[in-house]
Structure 1
Amino acid sequence: MDSSPCPTKRFCPDANLCLYIFFQSRVLATIGVTRGFGDHDLRALNSTPVKPFLSSQPEVQILDIMNENIDDSDLLIMGTDGLWDVTSNERAVETVKKSLSHFSSDNDTRKYRYLYLK
């Protein structure tokens, strides 16, 4: 899923009309949801929550990928807006798959190939 701050969708009901729909991914036009993690401005000032509609405490889940049914076609690419502003999801996947293709697929360490990218 793309994570640009203001994604745009183009909808053309016919050849003479195109509509551009802009989506705002900010909470009350203040802060992007992912920018809220650890943001000191979201904390309380004199015990009064500054932005009570958004928490700076992330919800964390731990997933043991060794217990998941993953295969060579599954990817998880984590990046900041510095990456996603300049490349598409498809291009990022293509780049990672190209890097991973340097590994042999017939050995016992296939599931650990992601360590190469650290």
Structure 2
Amino acid sequence: MSTVVQPADYDAPRAEFEKQLGFTRLDFNDTDEWEKRVVAQAIKHIAANNLVFTTDQVRPLLPEVHPNRIGAGFAAASARGEIVHVGYTKSKKVSSHGRVVGMWRSTTSPRHGVIRTPGRVDPLPS
């Protein structure tokens, strides 16, 4: 039978803490991916159901996510050619105090009867 010999400076509580910290890091990475997917789904949903939209319409659909994740989600959707930036407006969210936010529209939603070209702003239908 072998015996495990610990170094003289072995600190069992510290070792347990480091082990749990490692698990926390794994959970955090999973949360990052989950948040990205949730934000992407919310943007797709709003884009499919609104001709022009802002972050004000996406935020209420989301659980508590890191605030930077929403802007990053819009940037990613734009880079994938799913949405296109069409202008600016003041936020209607009271806590934003009229801050300027981007206006976006879908480039892929056939619901609006227009197939939009990524990277080019087509005129809005009347």
State TM-score, norm by structure 1: 0.24
Task: Please identify which structure carries the higher helix content.
Answer: 2
| Structure with greater contact order relative to length (CA < 8 Å, sep ≥ 6) | 2
Task: Please identify which structure carries the higher strand content.
Answer: 1
- Which is greater in Rg? 2
State TM-score, norm by structure 2: 0.22
